[in-house]
Amino acid sequence: MKVFHLPAIAMLALAACSNALPQGDLKGIAEEARMMANNATIETTAIEDVHPQGIRVETDGVYIKIGGSNVTEYGFFVPHDPAFRQPAAGDLSYTPLGEGVWRYDIAG
């Protein structure tokens, strides 16, 4: 007879579904993202350390995708404008993390 430890299995399942961002060097991520936005040739050590699924340079800033599904997405965001403020409403939300880096979430 096999014995399964349901609490351990439940914790693994919850961890797999987590939208937590990996711990990263926020200052390094901000510096590298700003250099990318300026088309500078760089080594992206801090960004690579968070294992991004993709990186986009948009008109408002640099989006570093960490995870999501077909209709959702989340990751790090580094705005071009240091005075960036979260827009009032919409499917896209931002949470300040520090060092000029924000968490972004796109809800489907």
Burial 85-101, CB ≥16 within 10 A → b, else e: eeeeeeeeebeebeebb
In the structure, what pLDDT confidence band is assigned to residue 18 with cuts at 50, 70 and 90? low
Cα(34)–Cα(62) distance, integer angstroms = 8
pLDDT at residue 83 greater than cutoff 70: yes
pLDDT tens-digit readout, 32-47: 999 999 988 887 799 9
71: alpha, beta or left, given left = phi > 0 and alpha = psi -120 to 50?
Answer: alpha
Q: How many angstroms separate the CA atoms of 76 and 94, rounded?
A: 9
pLDDT computed for residue 87 by the predictor:
82
